[in-house]
Structure 1
Amino acid sequence: MKIRRFSAAAFAAALLIPGVAACNGDGTAGAGASGTPSASGSIAPSGSAGTGDAKQALLDSTNAIRDGNFRFTMSGAGSTAEGQVHEPSQSAAMRMTIGDPSSDLMMKLDLIHFKPDSWVKLELGGKAASSVPGVQKLNLGKYQHLDQTRIKGNRALGFDFDKIDPAGSAVLTQGITEVRQAGEGAYEGTVDVSKAAEAGSLDPAVITALGTQAQTVPFTAKVDGQGRLSELVLKLPAAGQSAAQDVKITYSDYGSAAAAQKPPADQVVEAPAEFYNLFN
């Protein structure tokens, strides 16, 4: 089979989340984009009644994300990501897996960002892994130090500490078109994801493939006891070549995430040209 390069868009499509994009923490890294909700101020009570109150509660639930100190997970399309963001130390980390050993191509990435540096440990597997150009220079079992000028703007590899949410939940909640409370701290409704192309959890190509369905994607959400977003699930319908699927995003450990750890010097090499060729 022909091995395609993992462009930022292709990576996001495979992950349906990180294009995971941006990620951080004790094993995560990400290159997503976060938005700033139009609402600000204290978090609304989870028990508010009307639709307007319910939407406001969800808009406000993303405020704590902007403090840049949390753990997160994302899953969808047979891929997973987990990590943490620690803005106080300007660090982040993320681990992600796309596919599994039975897939034509499986990829595992262990990304660490510690501004201004980034490192990634890459593992390629699956039946077609041997066909990847330069695979012997990629599966090194070590962290590869990344040239920032070569990953700038790459949603799969970079991380922007001015846009610290890998999933872009603030952007997604702004697109809510209908919402109702479904229990204590629980909500359900629909969201217009056509307005959320910047969200790291969705690939713009998938949004385009959804067509008019993108305007009424069902979702469920949960907030914790302090009104902070703890879970968001988008129920994407089938579109184009993609089957119907759930994209799940979770947040935890607000205010108590740890700084990322730089890899030991003896476990670091400079990323070869083959690495950048794979992602660009």
Structure 2
Amino acid sequence: MVSSEPSRTAPPPVDNRAPQQIVIAGFPTGTSPIYHYTVKSLDSSESGVIDAPDKIAEITLSPQHYTRPPYTEVVIYLLTKDRSWLKLEDQPAGRSGFPQKWMSFDPKKLPNEDGTPDVYSGETAPRAAYIIFENSSDISRTSSGHFRGTVNLSQTEGFLTAKNLKALGKKADSIPFTVVLDAQGRLTSTTMRIPAAAKFKGGTFEITYDHYGTAAVPKLPTAAEQTKAPATLYRLFN
């Protein structure tokens, strides 16, 4: 005998974590699949690919414009756990005077801000989103996978200059942001809207994460595609 009762679907599991815990858990870790990211801040941009399985990071900084002589330059870093390269892409080509190949540099001579060698070390770039989440006390869920909150930028280093913080005054204590996670709970975007104040124009600070598991693996340079970094490179970047 066939039952005429409709089949029952189990309800989705209840997530009892606080919203702050959920968005922090969505941040990429050193064991995440390869992914691509972009950062658009008030006066610069950055993009890159973090490949934790292969321990490779490629980071492209926003173009810099020079006038003497006139040219535009893009800086690209390529890092593995034991090798590091830097490339300066000039328009017109070669205007900076540096080789236009990948320049293999000593990561100990161009260290990170904390003094550690500039190699791949389990990067979860960009960490700005994590800092925002960690320094917020009022994150709430607005719908499935969508969250909002505020962050006190006057107590969070690295986002605004002292001059801009002074212009914002008390407004800096409660800057609104939104967060979007994908269906797997992974971070896909964080957007922070900073208001204008006095001569400070304000603007939008946005970080996106995408192509989880599908981003193209950064290609390491062949012997013909690279050269040893000249001494002038270390003087320029130190």
Whether TM exceeds 0.5 here: the answer is yes
2:73 counterpart letter in structure 1 = M
- The answer to whether 1:186 aligns with 2:116 is no
SS of residue paired to 1:263: coil
Map residues 201-240 of structure 1 onto 2, 5 A cutoff. 202-203=158-159, 206=161, 209-211=164-166, 212-238=170-196
1:73-92 to 2 correspondences below 5 Å: 73-92=38-57
**Aligned-pair distance for 1:56?**
2.6
Unaligned 5+ segments in structure 1 are: 1-42
Query: How far did 1:144 drift?
Result: 0.9
* Structure 1: distance between partners of 2:212 and 2:236: 34
Name whichever structure is richer in strand by fraction: 2
**RMSD (Å), alpha carbons:** 3.4
Between the aligned partners of 2:119 and 2:229, the Cα distance in structure 1 is 17
1:171 paired residue number: 131
Residue 93 of structure 1: which of 58, 62, 74 is its match?
Answer: 58
Match of 2:89 in 1: 123
1:177: Cα distance to partner? 2.9
More helix by share: 1
Residues 208/61 of structure 1: CA separation in 2 closer, same or farther (3 Å cut): farther
For residue 224 of structure 2, what is the aligned residue in structure 1?
Answer: 266
TM-score (norm 1): 0.65
User: Deviation of residue 183 (structure 1)?
Assistant: 3.0
Cα–Cα, structure 1 residues 257 and 124, in superposed 2: closer, same or farther, change >3 Å?
closer
For the residues of structure 1 that align with 2:142 and 2:65, how far apart are their CA atoms? 35
Structure with more contact order per residue of length (Cα contacts < 8 Å, sep ≥ 6): 1
CA contact (8 A) 1:207 1:214 kept: no
Residue in 1 that maps onto 2:29: 65
- Which residue of 2 is the match for residue 107 of structure 1? 73
1:119 shift after superposition: 0.9
CA contact (8 A) 2:52 2:122 kept: no
Distance 1:44 1:239, change over 3 A: farther
Question: Greater Rg, structure 1 or structure 2?
Answer: 2
CA distance in 2, matches of 1:208, 1:66: 35
**Is the CA contact 1:86–1:258 (under 8 Å) kept in the aligned structure 2?**
no
| 1:149-184 deviation per Cα after TM superposition (whole angstroms, max 9, x unaligned) | 1111248x9345144322342222111132333333
Structure 2 equivalent of residue 244 of structure 1: 202
CA contact (8 A) 1:114 1:260 kept: no
Contact 1:92–1:259, Cα closer than 8 Å, also in 2: no
Q: Which amino acid aligns with 1:151?
A: L
The one-letter code matched in structure 2 to 1:89 is D
Match of 1:152 in 2: 111
Distance 2:101 2:66 in 1: 20
What runs of 5+ residues in structure 2 fail to find an aligned partner? 1-12
Corresponding residue number in structure 2 for 1:55? 20
Change (3 A) 1:119 1:54: same
SS of residue in 2 equivalent to 1:274: helix
Amino acid of the structure 2 residue aligned with 1:67: T
Q: 1:269 to 1:167 in 2, by over 3 A?
A: same
